[in-house]
Amino acid sequence: MTMLKRDDGVSLYYEVHGSGPTILLTHGYSATSQMWRGQVAELSRDHQLVLWDMRGHGRSDSPDDPALYSEPATVADMAALLDAVGATAAVVGGLSLGGYMSLAFNRVHADRVRALLIIDTGPGYKNDQARDGWNATSIRTAERYERDGLAVLEGGSAERRTARHTSARGLALAARGMLTQRDAGVITSLPDIKVPSIVVVGSEDKPFLAASDYMASKIPGAKKAVIDGAGHAANIDRPEAFNAAIRTFIDGLR
């Protein structure tokens, strides 16, 4: 088991598959790196594919200090992972919270991003009231994990139902510190993105269809792929169609 010890004492689980240009994929909230099993063979045949568990998730540490869970800490974790595998830059992407964090990473480390893969993701909110509503929902999610434990996963989408975690408390703290949003920085950064980008969404992922349209329209030159018949975990629901869309995009970067 490969672990990366961060400066704040948190150890992160990660995996490296294949060799070549680097792809860094980040899972969604309350999922783990295992959600990408169906992509490993396809993406690692000509790339170095890096998968990891965010703090509070999977085999990574779940520290008790709420201050150790945040968007800046997650962005710093991603940069440290690239350092650990010797990658100055990478194709960076993820699903849902992982996609949001990939956009946040691009804001801070644009020089380390070759391209963006934004999958079943929302870009945040310009409107304070809408953001407050999202944050209230995130806090209720945290409270459910605090009350009901890991049994909450059983009612989630595919990437959550198949996830294995060591700590419900870690997921609750991640909801409070990482799933909640502080400002409109990510959504307002979309027109400034300079790298090739693809927005992928499942046709049945109704809560994220409008957000995907918005991102595809605001990110300069962005491509969009709708995975027919897929829900929130498009890569799990329809892996062949998902892999084909990502492969076509990545091949176009050469």
pLDDT tens-place string over residues 5-52: 999 999 999 999 999 999 999 999 999 999 999 999 999 999 999 999
Average pLDDT of the segment spanning 206-226:
98
Q: Is 250 left (phi over 0), alpha (psi -120 to 50) or beta?
A: alpha
Residue 1: pLDDT above 90? no
Where residue 254 falls among pLDDT bands split at 50, 70, 90?
A: confident
**What share of the chain has pLDDT > 70, as a percent?**
100
Tell me the domains of the chain and their CATH numbers: 2-251 (3.40.50.1820)
Residue 183: pLDDT above 90? yes
Residue with the two structure tokens 């801070």: 108
pLDDT of the residue at 164 = 94
Q: pLDDT tens digits for 42-92? A: 999 999 999 999 999 999 999 999 999 999 999 999 999 999 999 999 999
Where residue 162 falls among pLDDT bands split at 50, 70, 90?
A: confident
Residue 181: pLDDT above 90? yes
Where residue 245 falls among pLDDT bands split at 50, 70, 90?
A: very high
CA distances from 98 to 40, 71, 151, 250, 251 (A): 17, 11, 22, 19, 22
pTM of the model: 0.97
Q: How far apart are CA 14 and CA 137, in angstroms?
A: 29
Q: How far apart are CA 69 and CA 172, in angstroms?
A: 10
Residue 42: CB atoms within 10 Å: 18
Residue 156: pLDDT above 90? no
63 closest CA partner among 177, 144, 148: 177
Where residue 157 falls among pLDDT bands split at 50, 70, 90?
A: confident
Average pLDDT of the segment spanning 110-134:
98
Residue 155: pLDDT above 90? no
Helices 37-44 and 239-251, interaxial angle, to 10°?
Answer: 30
Mean confidence (pLDDT) of the chain: 97
Q: pLDDT tens digits for 191-214? A: 999 999 999 999 999 999 999 999
- The residue ranking higher by pLDDT, 157 or 19, is 19
64 closest CA partner among 166, 139, 169: 169
